[in-house]
Structures are given as C-alpha cells and as structure tokens.
Structure 1
C-alpha cells in the first residue's frame, strides 16, 4: 500500500465513526504505530482531521454538505473510481471537476497526493469546478490553483449553474474533465436529474482534451431527466459491479470502459 493509499484509507476509517485511534490504523492497515502517527500528523497539517491523544477526529469544516454526500451506500465503489481517475492526472494538468459524490471523492484523492503537494513556485494542478464544496475542499492546498465557474447556486447539489457559468466555461481549455452523473445508458449516454447541471457538465466536457464520465455500477442502465446535449460520450470509469453485458453494450457503442476493481 502506498502512502497516498494509506492516507485515503485513514480518512475512510475516520468517516465511519467520526474518530480513529492509532491502534485501529495499525490493525486495519498493517502498519507500525510510528507510521500511523506520522500519517495522522500529515493529515492534520493538511487540515483533513484534528489530532487527539492517541488518534484523531474529523476536522472542522466550513460547510455542511447536502444529505446525498453524507449517506452513500456506494462509497467504496466511488473511492475506487476516484483512485482510477487520479492515475490519469499528472502534475501540471488542468482538470475540470463537475459536482457530485464521485467527483468529490476524486477531489479528496487529489488533495492527498504527495506529488501534487510538493513545494513548487507554480501550481502543481489547476482545477476548474462549478461545485463550491469541491472548491472549499481544495482551497487549503496552496499548490492547487482553483477556478470557480460562477453562476447561480443550486442548494440541493452545491453546484453553480446558469448562463454565467456557460460564459466562463467558454474561456477555459482543460486537459481532462471528470463528470459526475445520475445515470448512464449505452444508447442515450449520461443523464442528469437537473437540466442546468446537465448543460454545465456538457460544456465542461467539451472544453477538455479527454473527458470521462464517473459512474458507479448502481447507475448503469439508469436514466434521469436531462441528457448532456452536444457531448460525445467516449469514456466511462465505473466499478467491477458492472455486468458483462452492460460493459459489452457500452463498448459496442464506441465507449471505452475503465473498470476500477473492488476488494
């Protein structure tokens, strides 16, 4: 297990109950107490948790996320998808992140990568996002440059939408875009519950050299209200819960499918 994987795993343990002890990390991750303490100290310096005697608790945050971020039956799958997406991103990249729980998981993974937090006189990563929770999450990372698109806030998702967002999106060029969706179908592609979010997602994807839809397997074959008009759906990252027939259907339609394996 790499250090980045360990840090992510510790945050997962912390999310389960709101606190974690050094002994928990030692037994669950198979590391020494000294390594566990160093990892906790590193996460505390990044303001991702608060150190206590013998462990840590969740760090104070400046916002409360909508309920869908706090009750997620597919958190492990989304974490694996986020790790697979992170592997595509090198230092110096310009990345678009839409809102959603899987995109938020990707932002968390990026925030703990050592190579993106190395001392530098230039940004190690530039993130363009319409999700204010993602912008807040990354704001404490001095080596990550953040651009927020502007627009009208959707309080149900913490995403900025509307014509102002569209204007800003036309002025950026992205290396990668990672798009969260509510459903994805081999025939009609990705779909979103909110039409405003669908328009922003489509604009973001079209501004990228390579765009990826992030969708855990529970969303495969499902359809929501709004399509991503004008977007050519070519790449999907999902988890190993996808059925072979569904994977074959996507590939037959010309979509490259990356499967993030679950333990």
Structure 2
C-alpha cells in the first residue's frame, strides 16, 4: 500500500472509531511502529488528525482542516456526487450554491447547463461560473473569509433573504450520529439557515467522511433538508434519522 493510500485509510479508521492506537495501526497495515509514527506525525502536521501519545484521535471540533487539504480529500467521491446533483437540476433553474469544496464540485458539474441563475456566497464558485456567459450570476455581499473564499456576515444574510430560489446546494462539516448537521463557524451556520429558508428544495452534498465527524456549531437536524447526496451508505443511526424525516437519499 502506498503512503498516500495508508494516510487516507488511517483518517478513515480514526473517523470511524474516534481514537485508534499505534499498535492497532501497526497490526492493521503490517508495517513497523516507526512507519506508523511517521504517518501520524505527517497527518497531525496537516491537521487531519490529533496526535496523542500512543495513538491518534479526531481533530479539534473547533477548527476545520485547511481549505486546500479539504479540496483534494475524497475528490473522486465529490466529483461523483456533483455529477448526480447536476443531473437533477434542469436548464434555466435558479439556485443557491454554498461555501465548501463539495458545492464547488457541483458548480464544476453545472458548466454544461444552460441559462442557470445562480446566487452564491462562494468566491471560488463565482470565479468559475463567470466563464458561462448565458448564466446569470449574483454574488452575495459581506465579509470575505480569505482562507476559503467564503462570504459571511450580516450583510450576507440580508442579501440572501431577498431571494426565493428553486434549489439550495449546501455542504456540511459533520453529521453527528443523532442526525445533527454540524459546522465550525457560527456565522456560516447562520448563512446556511438563510439559504435553507429561501430554497424550495434543499440538497445537502457531502462525502462519507463527514458521518460521525465532530464540529462545534449545530445547524439543525435532517428535517431541514430534502435530499442527501453522498458516496456511501450512512451509518445505521444516521440512516434511521434520514428515514424518519423522509429525506431522499442519493448514493453516488
């Protein structure tokens, strides 16, 4: 197994178990303790895990991983999710596109559509979609978050509340086992709520790594969304909440 594959697998084990010991990882991957320690140190330096003596745990629930790191993680899965979402949005539709690497992947997948009218608080999405002369693109005002191009704040909320659109394309940082939708930034949560309130159909787009992942701000529960697009079957406890609230699950 290549180092990058092992790193991804370690992250997945930590996500599933919450904590994993060095000994478990040595046995699981059949490599030396020194190799595992180097792996854990590398991942901790990238803020993908929290390094403990004798093992590793989930990273802090108060700080998200760096934007460029998140963009390359699970990129194939995000692309599949994005293609499925795009297939369900007709030409000429109106939609919000949220902050996040998976909503950005959806924007890429919409480049062959015609006549879309898009409102976004994501500078990266806006930059991409300016290449589409037949799209009507509206960029929300507010404070630019330089680390990822997100636009947030009171002005953003007021701006979004002026619209009523067909679709809201939302990302999320974590989904707790009780179905709670979690984020790291309180201001971003308020913006997501505004998008939800002003969308006729809310589509949550997220890869499987967000299931069971911790973050400190609660957006709400699964009853806020209409569709969940993801790449793997959610854990049983989350699946129960999805069914309870009659959310349409799309496995991509």
TM over 0.5: yes
Partner of 1:131: 122
Kindly indicate whether residue 212 of structure 2 is the aligned counterpart of residue 221 of structure 1.
yes
Q: Deviations over 1:29-62 (max 9, x none)?
A: xxxxxxxxxxxxxxxxxxxxxxxxxxxxxxxxxx
Runs of 4+ in 1 over 4 A off after TM superposition: 229-232
Q: Which of the numbers 126, 148, 152 marks the counterpart of 1:161? A: 152
Partner of 2:176: 185
Partner of 1:82: 82
SS at match of 1:242: coil
Alpha-carbon distance between aligned partners in 1 of 2:104 and 2:193, rounded to the nearest angstrom? 18
Alpha-carbon distance between aligned partners in 1 of 2:77 and 2:237, rounded to the nearest angstrom? 17
Partner of 1:103: 103
Unaligned ranges ≥5, structure 1: 1-64, 117-123
Alpha-carbon distance between aligned partners in 2 of 1:182 and 1:241, rounded to the nearest angstrom? 16
Unaligned ranges ≥5, structure 2: 1-65
Q: How many residues align?
A: 187
TM value normalised by structure 2? 0.68
Alpha-carbon distance between aligned partners in 2 of 1:68 and 1:147, rounded to the nearest angstrom? 28
CA distance 1:231–1:219, shift in 2 (3 Å): closer
SS at match of 2:110: helix
SS at match of 1:228: strand
TM value normalised by structure 1? 0.65
Residue pair 2:170, 2:205 contacting (<8 A) in 1 also: yes
